[in-house]
Every structure is written in C-alpha cells, then in structure tokens.
Amino acid sequence: MNFSGTLRINKFACFTLLFILFVIIYWRSNGGTYPTDKNEIINLKTLLTAAIHAAEYGGRKVVEGTNRDLNIKSKGKTKEGVNDPVTDADQASHCVMFYGLTKTFPKLTIVSEEHSINDRKCEDQEPFNTDTPPPQHRMIEDMNNELVFAKDITIWIDPLDATKEYTEGLYQYVTTMVCVAYKGIPIIGVIHYPFPPENPQTYWGWLAKKTSSNVANVAHQEEYKENPRVVVSISHQGKVSEMAKEAFGPKTTVSNAAGAGYKVMGVVNGTYDVYLHATAIKKWDLCAGDAIIRTVDGKMTTAKGDYIDYSPNADVKVTEGVLVTRYDHEYYLSKISKRL
Ligand SMILES: *[C@@H]1O[C@H](CO)[C@@H](O)[C@H](O)[C@H]1NC(C)=O
C-alpha cells in the first residue's frame, strides 16, 4: 500500500484550503479590495455601500455643526461677487468622508471639495462598512457584484453642498455627495439630504442598474416643452433667468434654488424640467447628480452638448455652462446653443 500518495494529496488539499481562507480574510479586512498593486480589483457594490455610509456620516457632521459656532471663513468671491464661505462643518464632514473612504479603499483616487487640514484626529477614521448598507437600502445586498480595476475609478466628494445657504439657515438646500466615476464616466451617485435631522433622505443611482427606491418615476409630458419649468442658481444667477426665457419662450417659469445637488434632484423627481447653469461650476458639485440623472435616462451635458469628464487629471471646473434634463435634452440644447 502506498500511504505517502494520499498523505501528499491531503497536505496539498489542506494547504490550498488554508490559502483560500487566508485570501478571504485578507480580502475582507481590506474592505473588499484585492491587494495586488496596480491591478487591484474593486467591487462596485461595496463601493456603493461605503459611499452611502460616507454621505450619511458626513451629513451627521453637517447637522452637528448647526449646534456650534459655525466659524465661517471665506474662500474668496465667485465671479459674480458672491462670498464663497467655508465652515467648520465643511471640514468636519470632509474629514469623515475623505478619510473614511481612504481607509476603506486605500488605492482609490479621491477628489474632495475641501482640503485636508493638519489634524491627526481628522485622519484617524475607521473604514466604512462595505457589507451592510443602511436599512432603507438593503436592496443593494441582492444586486450583483461588479468588479473593476481600481486604477479606472475616481471618487468625487462634496462634503457640504450649498455652504452659503447653510450659514444662512436655509438647510433644505444642503446635501452631501459621493460620486464614482469609471474612466471619467459617472456611474454611481449618492446625494444625501441631512435635513431635517429627524427625516434625512439618501438618493442614489447606479448606472444601467437601479436607483434607490425613493427615486420616483416621472412620466414624459410633451406639453412641458412649451412652458418648461426651469431652475437656476440663487447665488450664481447672472443673466441665466433672462436667457432661459429668451431661449425656451415666454411661457417659461424660472425658479431659483441653491445647491447643485438639490437642483439636479429637482429635475430627477420632476419638479423641474430643466436645470440651467451658466457660470463656472466645479465637478464635485455635478458628478453625483450626473450619475443619478443618467440612471433615470436623463442627461447632463455642458451647454455645448458635451458630456462632462470626471477623470482625475481633467480640469475640476466646467466653464461652458451646464444643462440637465430628464426628457427632451436635444430639444432644450438646440434652444440654448443658439444663445451661448
Ligand atoms: C423634489 O426635489 C426638490 C429639489 O431637490 C425638492 O424640493 C422636493 O421636495 C422634491 N419633491 C419630492 C416629491 O420629492
């Protein structure tokens, strides 16, 4: 009888089993990422889960900030001479969102509106949960895994959109946002409304897959082309209201609102037909909304009709104007392109 053969096989089987176990443990402790340097694999499902946690955690910091001295500083003035403030809440939210995501996915490129301040406590964040989404978003657990290379991913975060309105107590406009771009294309967007604190809301879209269940279906209505409901920015108004009326006709209704996240969501939920922005705007203000509007088959383009590139080395500013619609994008684009 030859015992050594079976022994060898068993040894081999044991070794293989141990190796697989080791890989699984290593993988889980790395937040669902494989540690193979350049070609590290990221699971988009775990990224969406972590992105929701990040936006909600940031939102709690934003709410907490209202109970303290806001410590408003200015980052300068916008082109229209509007003060561009930053508060301790922007920083606190940046800390948890940026460093939380960095700890969860060390290999990913993350672009944030705010910069890191020299604060050890700030960098000392726990990784986010990548397995279990918050209770209202449990449907994600039933979605398929989707693996991509880490090098193709850029995360854009806005730790507090509509800071000026936040300092004025106009909390309804305030959002925190996380966006995942794959090769420059926004594929996952999370927009979180931290206010009112007793009923915060998170909306998300994963391109070609699903939106969060709170994103409503909106029927296409042809007659809105005749009297479109357009939303423009309060703080960067410029001449855009007039331009909208000239471009879309006298029956156009123009409303003002703050926060790019808020305005895009207004188009997503059918409150507005068009969001028109004429001045320069940063990509962290747009990316998450871009991903969500794409997921519901709407569109965000520059006023020239180009898609926005969210690669890390592209310019962070969009200067050609922005047009967001859920329906009839080409129609509205043709109307404004004559005026720009
Ligand atoms: C739709 O979005 C706008 C802007 O974000 C918001 O003010 C409004 O409450 C939303 N409406 C619904 C029904 O969700």
Task: Identify which of 269, 296, 324, 326 to mutate to test ligand 1's pocket (most ligand atoms within 8 A of the CB).
Answer: 269
Same domain for 189 and 128: yes
| Residue 17 domain flag | no
Number of domains the chain contains:
2
Residue 61 shares a structural domain with residue 172:
yes
Ligand 1 atom having least distance to the Cα of 265: 5
Cα–Cα distance for residue pair 132/7, rounded to 1 Å: 41
Cβ contacts of 195-200, under 8 Å, gap ≥ 24: 195/63, 195/171, 196/171, 197/63, 200/56, 200/59, 200/63
274 contacts 266 by C-beta, under 8 angstroms: no
How would you classify residue 219: left for phi > 0, otherwise alpha for psi between -120 and 50, otherwise beta? beta
Ligand 1 midpoint to CA 112 (Å): 26
Q: 59 and 178: one domain?
A: yes
Per-run averaged pLDDT (10 residues), the chain, 340 residues? 55 77 67 59 98 98 86 68 75 95 96 77 91 97 97 97 94 98 98 98 98 97 93 80 92 96 98 95 97 98 97 94 97 86
Residues 245 and 201 in one domain: no
* Same domain for 192 and 155: yes
77 alpha carbon, distance to own chain's centre: 25
Same domain, 114 and 258: no
Look at residues 181, 206, 231 and tell me which one is the last residue of a structural domain. Answer: 206
Domain-located, residue 99: yes
Report the separation in Å between the CA atom of 301 and the middle of ligand 1, taken as the mean of its atom positions: 22
User: Which CATH number do you get for residue 86?
Assistant: 3.30.540.10
As given in the structure block, the two tokens for residue 197 are 């604190």
Residues paired with 230 in a beta bridge:
254, 274
Ligand 1 atom with the shortest distance to the CA of 261 = 5
Question: Residue 118 falls within a domain, yes or no?
Answer: yes
Whether residues 192 and 294 fall in one domain: no
CA–CA gap between residue 289 and residue 188 (Å, rounded): 9
Q: Which domain holds residue 181?
A: 41-206
**Residue-level pLDDT at 120:** 75
Residue 57 is predicted with a pLDDT of 98
Spell out the SS3 assignment of 46-99: HHHHHHHHHHHHHHHHHHHHCCCCCCCEEEEECCCCCEEEECHHHHHHHHHHHH
Q: What is the pLDDT of residue 13?
A: 77
pLDDT digits (tens, 9 = 90+) for 75-109: 776 655 566 677 889 999 999 999 999 999 999 99
Taking the C-alpha atoms of 177, 82, 73 and 66 in order, what is their torsion angle to the nearest 10 degrees?
Answer: -50
Name the closest-CA residue to atom 4, ligand 1.
266
81 Cβ neighbours under 8 A, 6+ residues apart = none
Tell me, rounded to whole angstroms, the distance of Cα 22 from its chain centroid: 34
User: Which amino acid would we find at residue 69?
Assistant: D
pLDDT of residue 1: 47
DSSP string, 6-33: HHHHHHHHHHHHHHHHHHHHHHHHTTSB
